Chains A and B, each alone.
Chain A
Amino acid sequence: MPISLNYVLKRTFLSILIVIGVIVFTYTLLIITPGDPAVKWAGNPRGPKAHEAVELARRELGLDQPIYIQIARFIYNVFTGNLGLSIAYKIPVTQVVYSGFTSTLELLLFTYILAVPVGVLLGLYSALRRGSSIDGFIQSFSVVLASTPTFWLATIIVLVIYSTTGFLPYGRVSSKLEITTGFQSITGFYLLDSLLQGNIPVFLDVLTRLIPPALAISVYPLGVITRVTRTLIAEALLEDYVKAGVAWGVNRTTILKHFVFRSIIPPIIQTSGLAFVYSMVDAMVVESLVFGRPGLGSILLDALHKADFRVALALVIYLTIFYIIVNTLVDIIQAIIDPRVKL
């Protein structure tokens, strides 16, 4: 599979431009929305030390300097992760965002690593039986899945689990277990960390608390990917080159693997990528409001409650950058796999 380096470079360069554009746009919002940007940056302080805090903020942002220096400095700060201290907690903002980020990302990755293959297999199963009633059923059912409101489903899941087992699936890990087993967070991804430390009780605990929210979030990608896969495979089977392959004597497995699958992987990756960023919002809502887990959702809520402007700003910027990175990766993977993309 040839990698067209030209395309990769072009695409990466383009996405960097977009990221810079986003940062500039955000900074512009900071400046042009009503009110003194230094006051916002200082977090609307009250009391006797307010004036000093605002002046400090003014110097931090460099508001006394020409606009292009301000913007350049801001861009630099974003890339180096230096966006000041959280107004509420006095620790670096990026640290706050990162801690939430790993929790939410862990949940999302866990969900998608399971949902995507299941969706593809279901779609394949359905496509191979196209026209039959089971095919029709799976197609309709996947629409239902994709349209199910996640928040509602999450609440139902909690109720069902609690009423049947008495166990309330909240939080990310049992704090009691954390203390008794001396669990340390290294990467921020608890499943990984607990395995690295050989801490099985914590591993199982984290897993148990991951499954219910993952279940709720998985419903949307499952529905979408099943439908998309089914359609793609059914159409691919009608292609001239598949017909030719069959005529040449290529057997069914090879046809599926090398004639059909290779053509559907790029669009499936693209669909999954887009669904992933959509699910991010779902996850933020559900993890914080229904399952009480730490993560980007609760951080955002917290920042808004406490007028922690810097955290909110940082979260928005880094989340957007994450979206752009995912999109770029999806495009690049597509270019790698499909030999016809040559730009």
Chain B
Amino acid sequence: MVLAVKTVNLRIGYLDEEEEKIQWAVRGVDLEIQEGESFCLVGESGSGKTTLANAIAGILPPHAVTQGKVYIFDKLVVDDSSRNYNGVRGRIVNYIPQNPGTSLNPFLTIEDHFYYVLRDLYKYDKSKSKSIAIETLSKVGLTSEILDYYPHELSGGMKQRVLIALALASNARIIVADEPTSSVDASLRAGILGLLSKLNKEYRVTLIIVTHDIKMTSAICNRTAVMYSGEIVEIGKTSIILQSPKHPYTRMLMECVPILGVEKPLKPLPGEPTRIFEDISWCSFRERCPYASVECKTTPSMIPVGDDESHFVKCWRFHEVA
């Protein structure tokens, strides 16, 4: 099996000019995603999931600081402080932005969008890009008449589908979708997820979904990683993670989520998702963890859980987690 994405001890930070320090958003992530997988990256705000996704999609801002390595299909795109995504953006990895309202160029028609992207990627001319546009738009359930529209003339749901069509049209092998359902009305969410799922199953596109909604993961992803404070704290098959989470944070997430039809008390942990930006040598979840003990003063490593080869937990105390 081919590795679509591989990161080695990836650290990403932003230089704070005033304090002359680096605020680390991603701290030491080792990740491997196989081709054809559908993978979810789950976390709350400050977890680093968006930064990690941006690093894969090639849209880190110029003032970001990187360490470690990122490979996209064996191409080294991040090599410590140098980043080179030439030929990767759009062609191999594509990105569906979170907010459809602001992610389309208000000065271009939908047809123009397809034209400029396909021209720059593959040198297609106007007629070829138009036919590809019509094809991909129909796959997402839109007719060719929207080609002449400007983004502000479309509804939110239509804009979201245009974004998906654009990602499809570039024929990328990896699609990174950032919170694909948060800005969309509830009645349209199933449709969007169904579409993404189809991409993965029928066209064998590697899907990487970033979300804060852990209960959505099983609808679309077969493997999930949970992030907290810039690190992956648990990773494994989605069904296992949801059924028997081993990291105290994952467990808390599952217990916090209200689910229609299930009468259960919500049990969040006190405090807020901590935003630690410096380098620390202890477990970042320690302050809020009900299982914290002496061992937790050193950063845990990724420990395999039982016999399951795919389930890993970054916790010394996971045996205690019920």
Instruction: Answer whether A and B touch in the complex at a CB cut-off of 8 Å.
Output: yes
Binding site for B on A (CB under 8 A): 131, 239-241, 243-251, 254, 258-259, 262-263, 337-340
Question: Which residues of A are found within 8 Å of B95, using beta-carbon distances?
Answer: 244, 247-248
CB–CB B117/A339 < 8 A: no
CB–CB B170/A248 < 8 A: yes
B218 contacts the other chain (Cβ, under 8 Å)?
no
Alpha-carbon gap, A248 to B89, bound state (A): 6
Select one of B97, B105, B117, B163 contacting A249, CB under 8 A. B117
Select one of A254, A259, A339 contacting B150, CB under 8 A. A339
Alpha-carbon gap, A263 to B150, bound state (A): 14
CB–CB B105/A248 < 8 A: no
CB–CB B107/A339 < 8 A: yes
Question: Which residues of B are found within 8 Å of A258, using beta-carbon distances?
Answer: 105, 107-108, 112, 116
Alpha-carbon gap, A245 to B102, bound state (A): 12
For B104-139 the 0/1 string (1 means CB < 8 A from A) is 111110001000110111000000000000000000
Known contacts A247-B90, A249-B89; A340/B170 CB under 8 A: no
Which of B91, B104, B120, B152 is packed against the most chain A CB atoms within 10 Å? Answer: B120
| CB-based A-B contact count at 8 angstroms | 80
Known contacts A243-B59, A338-B107; A248/B117 CB under 8 A: yes
B238 contacts the other chain (Cβ, under 8 Å)?
no
Taking A131-B63, A248-B167, A249-B121 as known contacts, 15 extra A-B pairs with beta carbons closer than 8 A to each other, sorted by chain A number, are A239-B102, A241-B102, A243-B97, A243-B103, A244-B104, A245-B116, A246-B59, A247-B57, A247-B58, A247-B94, A248-B94, A258-B107, A262-B105, A338-B107, A339-B106
Question: Which residues of B are found within 8 Å of A254, using beta-carbon distances?
Answer: 116, 119-120
- The prevalent SS among residues of A at the interface is helix
Q: Which B75-109 residues sit within 8 Å CB-CB of chain A? A: 89-91, 94-95, 97, 99, 102-108
Sample of 11 A–B contacts (CB below 8 Å): A240-B103, A241-B103, A241-B104, A241-B105, A243-B59, A244-B163, A247-B89, A247-B90, A247-B94, A254-B116, A258-B108
CB–CB B107/A262 < 8 A: yes
Alpha-carbon gap, A339 to B166, bound state (A): 21
CB–CB B106/A244 < 8 A: no
Smallest Cβ-Cβ distance to B109: which chain A residue: A339
Question: Which residues of A are found within 8 Å of B107, using beta-carbon distances?
Answer: 258-259, 262-263, 337-339
Q: 3 smallest A-B Cβ distances: which pairs?
A: A249-B90, A247-B95, A240-B102
Alpha-carbon gap, A60 to B292, bound state (A): 99
Smallest Cβ-Cβ distance to B103: which chain A residue: A244
- Shortest CB distance B132–A (Å): 13
- Shortest CB distance B45–A (Å): 18
CB–CB A339/B89 < 8 A: no
Known contacts A239-B102, A243-B97, A340-B152; A248/B108 CB under 8 A: no
CB–CB B117/A241 < 8 A: no
CB–CB A250/B106 < 8 A: no
- Shortest CB distance B163–A (Å): 8
Question: Which residues of A are found within 8 Å of B57, using beta-carbon distances?
Answer: 247
Alpha-carbon gap, A147 to B102, bound state (A): 37
- Shortest CB distance B85–A (Å): 9
CB–CB A247/B97 < 8 A: yes
Alpha-carbon gap, A254 to B111, bound state (A): 15
Alpha-carbon gap, A254 to B114, bound state (A): 13
Select one of A248, A259, A262, A340 contacting B90, CB under 8 A. A248
Alpha-carbon gap, A337 to B170, bound state (A): 28
Known contacts A240-B97, A259-B105; A248/B59 CB under 8 A: no
Smallest Cβ-Cβ distance to A252: which chain B residue: B120
Alpha-carbon gap, A248 to B166, bound state (A): 8
- Shortest CB distance B137–A (Å): 15
Question: Which residues of B are found within 8 Å of A248, using beta-carbon distances?
Answer: 89-90, 94-95, 117, 121, 166-167, 170
Question: Which residues of A are found within 8 Å of B58, using beta-carbon distances?
Answer: 246-247
CB–CB B106/A251 < 8 A: no
Alpha-carbon gap, A245 to B58, bound state (A): 11
CB–CB A249/B170 < 8 A: yes
CB–CB B104/A250 < 8 A: no
Question: Which residues of B are found within 8 Å of A245, using beta-carbon distances?
Answer: 105, 116-117
- Shortest CB distance B122–A (Å): 9
Alpha-carbon gap, A337 to B150, bound state (A): 13
Question: Which residues of B are found within 8 Å of A239, using beta-carbon distances?
Answer: 102
CB–CB B120/A250 < 8 A: yes
- Shortest CB distance B176–A (Å): 8
Alpha-carbon gap, A243 to B152, bound state (A): 18
Smallest Cβ-Cβ distance to A245: which chain B residue: B105
Alpha-carbon gap, A240 to B116, bound state (A): 17
- Shortest CB distance A131–B (Å): 8
Question: Which residues of A are found within 8 Å of B150, using beta-carbon distances?
Answer: 339-340
Smallest Cβ-Cβ distance to A1: which chain B residue: B107
- Shortest CB distance B159–A (Å): 11
